[in-house]
Chain A
Amino acid sequence: MTALFNDRRLQLLLLLAPGVGYLLFFFGTPLFQALRESLVTDQGDFTLMWYQRAFSRPSMVRGLTTSLYYGLAPVFVSLALSVPLSVLIRQSFIGRKLFNGLYKLPLAVPSLIAALAVIILAEQGGFLDRVLAHVGLSLPKIVRDDAGLGVIFTSAWKQVPFMTLIITSAFAAIPEDLRLAARAFGASRLQTFLRVEVPLAMPGISAAVLLTFIGSMGSYAIPDLVGPPSARPLSVLMVEGFKNGKFHEVYAMGMILSAFAIAVLIAYYTLTHRIGPQAVTGDER
């Protein structure tokens, strides 16, 4: 028995078993089942019908493009806010420490509450609308609107602190000497930022982009609550299909969503691989 226990291979297997085993059973199996189910008919014969449907039926195609749209648009909005924000909070200003603590608050706010906040604030008849009404204006429809602005705002609201946090630490990881070197060799502040800091922070920035994209693309609660009924993303269609027992269709959509996520992940790895992990910490020492 002791001899068996001392066997290194067995030891390794026993240690890995709880975590990997759990994930194999509760993550791997259902995912594999889903993949299989998406490829067979009700009778159990192989078919690509469900995928064909997903790419040809108008409501499904709409779902596909909407998922991508809800994945991408908030990322652009968040990026446009997070990069300047992380540059700004690096400066010293009054109350910087307080701001540093407060801006992260939305990290602790679940999507449902973010959606509620947007509804209260920006829905027609909501707070902003009432304020504008007092000066004789009216707020355009930005919650459950056809362009999905409500979804984009809500997702971005959750993402900006997360992105800012990652991008700030990516900037902070750049050795001060590199900044000084760029200045000493004739680069202005802006040139230093664009040619040295941004390229070096790129792994961090793209990781943030990747994670926020995957998060908002697969989100169900936000588009369901503040998205328009006219354009529903795959996630919403999946929940509806699941409730109606259309499993094959649901799993085909799930596989497509996962494929998007994996594709983005692979793109991320090929993109950052060229710079290499040491790029962020500067020279090897």
Chain B
Amino acid sequence: MSAIAAPVPLGEKRIRFTEEDRPLIAFGLFTALGLTVLLPLALMFLWSVADGWSPPNIVPAAYTGERWAAVLSNSDILNAGLTSLFVSVVVTLATAVIALPTAWAMARIPFRAKRLVEIFILAPMIIPGLVVAVGIGRLFLSLGLAYSISGVILVQIVGTLPLMIRLMTATLEGIPQELIHAARSLGAGTFGVLIHIILPLCVPGLLAGGLLSFVASFEEFDKTFIVGAPAVQTLPVRLYMYLDPYSMQLPMASVVAFLLLVPALIIFVIAGRVLRDDLMAAGMGKM
């Protein structure tokens, strides 16, 4: 896209920037950002409130709230939104519950085949999601889980689980053994250690993993589409339908896009405050 247009000087020009040059860098970077990121989002918003926007016009001729009103009273879209929300919440909780014991074993118990198990756990990040989806799709057809919400939830967890285990393993590895010994020597039992020491120290990792899992699930399309559509409609599936090249509806697509984007952006901002950059990169990139 217009990311190409970013006027970024290349490495060869790495002359010493003087104080006078800095506003220039700032100007260049912000212009590029505006054109590539903010402009498309703004145009999307304009489409969602435009009342007719035919070619020669650079801005819409008139504005209307009709699309938003139509979408917000359209039970299909509202249902899709609720489905999305339900699926994401269940996926997030289930992922955390499934991940914790395994992460504990990976972090604190030495065993021989650990490296192998680790590779297996991370494998879903490497194998394209679509391949998993077509494999599972067939399996679910025979299990009767195809085109059902439970099927969608089950397939999405395959995508969120590896990241959660990874994050939790790293978090649990960071708890010093001395702390647990200290708690033991002060009279805490296994359960006491778990409640008073381990869980509180896990909160940042759980929060990070939870937020990332939620966004990943909320925005997931490929696997949901294969396993659930058309019976199960989440917001992304709905958006995809509006974007069909043969019956494209830009105004409706824009409205649904915003419904999808706003929760993600809010979580993104929260996550940006709680997460370190590298965790964020790993998570958002589904690394």
Chain A positions within 8 Å of B, measured between CB atoms, are 8, 11-12, 14-20, 22-23, 26-31, 33-34, 37, 77, 81, 83-85, 87-89, 91-96, 99, 101-113, 115-122, 125, 127-131, 133-134, 144, 153-154, 156-157, 160, 162, 165-166, 168-169, 189-190, 193-194, 207, 211-212, 214-215, 217-221, 225, 235, 238-239, 242, 247, 250-251, 254-255, 257-258, 261-262, 265
Contacts and interface: CB of A to CB of B under 8 A. Distances in A.
A131 B58 contact: yes
30 contacts: A12-B105, A14-B101, A19-B101, A22-B157, A23-B120, A31-B131, A37-B138, A89-B29, A93-B23, A94-B23, A95-B26, A107-B285, A111-B221, A113-B261, A116-B243, A119-B250, A120-B254, A153-B2, A162-B284, A165-B277, A218-B131, A219-B222, A220-B221, A225-B240, A225-B243, A239-B130, A250-B134, A254-B135, A258-B127, A261-B128
Contact of B138 (A8, A91, A247, A255): A247
Contacts of B162: 23
Chain B at the A interface: mostly helix, strand, loop or mixed? helix
Interface string B268-282: 100010000110110
Contacts of B231: none
Nearest to A15: B105
Contact of B120 (A20, A118, A254, A257): A20
B132 A31 contact: yes
Interface string B35-53: 0111111011001000000
Contact of B26 (A16, A94, A250, A255): A94
B46 to A, nearest CB: 9
B128 A107 contact: no
Interface size class of B (residues with CB under 8 A): 35 or more
B134 A112 contact: no
A22 B38 CA distance: 40
Nearest to B240: A112
Interface stretch (B6-14, B71-79, B196-204): B6-14
A18 B102 contact: yes
Given A19-B165, A117-B40, A214-B126, A242 B134 contact: yes
Nearest to A167: B281
A26 B280 contact: no
B60 to A, nearest CB: 11
A224 B97 CA distance: 35
Contacts of B278: 165-166, 169
A218 B130 contact: yes
B209 interface: no
Given A162-B284, A165-B281, A108 B268 contact: yes
Given A117-B40, A250-B134, 5 more contacts: A26-B158, A122-B1, A129-B55, A238-B130, A239-B134
Give me the 6 closest cross-chain CB pairs, A-B, nearest first.
Answer: A218-B128, A19-B102, A30-B135, A117-B40, A15-B105, A108-B268
Contacts of A128: 2
B1 A238 contact: no
Contact of B264 (A85, A110, A165, A247): A110
Contact of A102 (B14, B37, B155, B157): B37
B70 interface: no
Contacts of A251: 134-135
